[in-house]
Every structure is written in C-alpha cells, then in structure tokens.
Amino acid sequence: MAHPLTNPVYRRLFAAQVVSLVGTGLATVALSLFAFDLAGETGGSAGQILGTAFAIKMVAYVTVAPLAATALARLPPRSVLVAADLVRCTAAIMLPFVNQVWQVYLLVAVLQAASATFTPTFQAVVPRVLPAPGEYTAALSLARVAEDLEAVLSPVLAGALLLVVATPTLFVGTAVGFAASALLVLSVFLPKPVPHAVPDAGTNAGEGRLSFGARMLGGLTLMLRSTPLRASVVLNLAVASAGAFVLVQTVVIVRETYGFGASAVPLALASNGLGSILMAAMLPRVLAARSERTVMLSGAAILVVSMALVPVVLGARPQSGLVALCGLWALVGVGWAAAETPVGRLIQAEIPAADLPAAFAAQFSLSHACWLLTYPLAGWLGSRSLTSAAWVLAAIALVSSAVAAVMWLRAEPAAGPGAGGGGDLDASLGTDPRSVTA
C-alpha cells in the first residue's frame, strides 16, 4: 500500500489542512484570552462569553453545513474551498479591532459559517483523491494526528508569541494560516464530484429528480438508517460534554481558580492535545485488534471518568492543581480521540461513495448539534459553579454513552477486528471497498 503522502495532490491538501489548523488553534487561544480581558471590561464572565461564542459557532455548523453541501454541490470543490478560506481570513483579521461583545459574536458567526462550508467539502474530496481503502485509512490517521498536533503546538506557539506580542495579534496568525491554506488548495486540480444519488423512498434518485429539501435531508436519512452510525451520533454527545468543558473553562480554572497568568492557559490546552496524539498514534494497531464499537465505547467511558474527576482537581492547591489539570486534560484527549476518530471508518462501511458529501455534511451537523447544547451549559453553569457544571456534563456523557452502548449491542455482533459492530446496510469495514472521509 502506498503512503498517502506520496500522492502529490493529497500532500498539498494535507499541508493546507495543517496550516489552517494552526491558524484555528491560535484563534482558540486568542479568543479565550480575549474573552477573559473583555469580560473584565464589561463586568461579565469569560465562561459566558466563550460559551455563547462557541454556541454561535455550532449554530453555524449545524445549519450552514447541509445547506452549503446541497447548494454548492455542482460547483468545483477547489473554488468552494478557496472562497471559504478567504472569508475566514477576512473575519480573522478583523477580530483584533473589535471592542464589543456583540462584534465578537458577529465575526465568529461569519468565520464559522465559512468553516462549516470548508470542512465537509474538504472531507468529501479526500476519498476521491485517495480511492484505495488502505490509503484512506492511513489518511484518516494522518488527519487526526494533524488535529492533535495542532492542539499541542498551537498553544505552545501562542504561549511563545504572547511573550513578545499582545493577545489580539494572535488573530493575525489565524488569518495567515487561512491565506496559506487557500494558496495550497489553488495549487492542485481536484477530481470532480461523483453524481449525487441519495436514496429516496428506497431507491436511488438522480440529483435532477430530487428537490433541494430532499437532497439536503438525504444525508440525515443515510446517517440514521445505519445502527452503528446512529450509535455514533449519540456518542458524539459524550465527546461534546467533556470537550466543551475543556475549551470553555480552562482559562477560568487556570487564571481565576489557580491564579496563574495567561502563559499557563496554552500549557493546559496543549496537554489535552498531547493525550489525543498518543491515542491517535495507537489507533491503527488498536483498530486492527478491536472493533470500532469497542474502541469508541471505551473512549466514551474514559470521558465520563475524566469529567467526574474534575471537582477533585478543582479542590487542589494551585501548583499541584495545575499539574493534575494537565494530566486530566490529557486523559480527556485520549478518550476524545478514541470515541471520535473511528467514525470515518464507520461511514466508509455504511454509505455509498456517491452519497459521501451529503453524509459527511449530515455527520458534521449532527455532531456539532451536540456541541450546541454543551457549550452554553459549560459556560453558563460554570459561571455559577465549576463543580456543578462538571457534574452535569459528566451525567450527560454517562447517559449518552449508555444509550449508544445499548443501541450498538442490540445490533448484529461485530464480525471481528475492524468491523463496525453490525448495521442495517450489510456492510463491513473489512470487506467494503468504498472510500470515505473523516
């Protein structure tokens, strides 16, 4: 099997993904610190501001992704990707100049609407560039590693930059990342999309015979027809519960609870990415020996335990508390990667190649709908009591994990390592040759 990076087109796409992720990582750190400073000026709570901003991000993801996937299906993917990058670049470069909370919310909405267009389009392009299942699996692992490296390196880079520049300047790095991504995408020619064929009433209907609404809802129908994919949708709520608390409340815990400066915030966030990297590096071997169902449910269990331990860490002294927090966030990263990464392999088994763009847009929206719930909970509950917020999110993660386990275990038993755990479409990861994206 050829390594995916030997493919020149994928290599540049991967480079575009990496620089874009670095820019996004800088924006995450900058937005956290910017919200903390802005909250002091307005008398609000940084957790509330971040929770609301991230909720706006999820609204954009949930609503824009399926609309864009349907409306832009006939356009060249390269044009769509470049246009989305340019919009993100423009929004990012404007963020340092705002001084009102509502202005932050507006620019976040614009930036994330463009991201909701970019990400599913990018995901649907990769399997057409790498049609061999083995190459795609390797690309899936690379994509996860890239995301995790960004979670580690971007906070470290942000911490180094904060020694010489002010917080708003980090948004310039975000804009540079998006601009570089656009240039890299422009440098390649991408395969044309496969003609759309979302099932309609049990049959495959051509795009020309389906209404806009039917095509937009087709991906949702595909995702909900398969037992493993239904379970993965529910499991997304466990990931979102732990992830939202980490992203929203880290700055509050480090700066208010422990009393450390801004440079300690990237350290805590980087620990989360480091745990995810370690798990992502292990996943190819783990998935060769265990089914996706086992790996994903185990990851969800880790997330539940991690959230239950948050109150213990909050009660520790500042020095030992920061060390414990970094260790706990690394554990969250392990569970996050285990529960989320194999979803692409499940889609590979269950969804026809022609329907991948619609399916990925639906998965993108469904998963981020969970974050739409947990971001405000983490922000608003945390502004009253971090302990209570942690317990509530731990309970949500526990219930969603239990529901997903019951759904999955009632389905046909997994055929063995690499099998998706049984489904309604009679496809298995071990034998289905169709390609998919993460």
Which pLDDT does position 389 carry in this prediction?
94
Non-local CB neighbours of 348 within 8 Å, separated by 6+ positions: 133, 136, 429, 432, 434, 435, 436
**For the chain, how many helices (H) and strands (E)?**
16, 2
Non-local CB neighbours of 319 within 8 Å, separated by 6+ positions: none
Which pLDDT does position 214 carry in this prediction?
56
R_g (Cα) of the chain, nearest Å:
21
Three-state DSSP at 400 gives helix
Entry field: residues in the chain: 438
Return the CATH number of 8-191+212-410, one of 1.20.272.10, 3.40.50.300, 1.20.1250.20, 3.40.630.30.
1.20.1250.20
331 contacts 197 by C-beta, under 8 angstroms: no
Count the neighbouring beta carbons within 10 Å of the beta carbon of residue 427: 20
- Is this structure's pTM higher than 0.95? no
Per-10-residue mean pLDDT, the chain, length 438: 80 88 77 74 63 78 74 82 93 83 84 83 81 72 66 64 72 88 91 55 42 58 80 91 92 88 81 85 84 91 96 89 94 92 78 69 77 87 91 96 89 48 32 27
User: What is the spatial distance between Cα 238 and Cα 245, in angstroms, rounded to a whole number?
Assistant: 11
Count the neighbouring beta carbons within 10 Å of the beta carbon of residue 154: 27
Q: How far is CA 291 from CA 162, 295, 346, in A?
A: 43, 6, 10
Burial class of 259 by CB neighbour count within 10 A (0 to 12, 13 to 18, 19+): exposed
The candidate with the shortest Cα–Cα distance to 50, out of 27, 73, 71, 72, is 27
Which pLDDT does position 349 carry in this prediction?
72
What are the residue boundaries of the structural domains of the chain, listed by start? Answer: 8-191+212-410
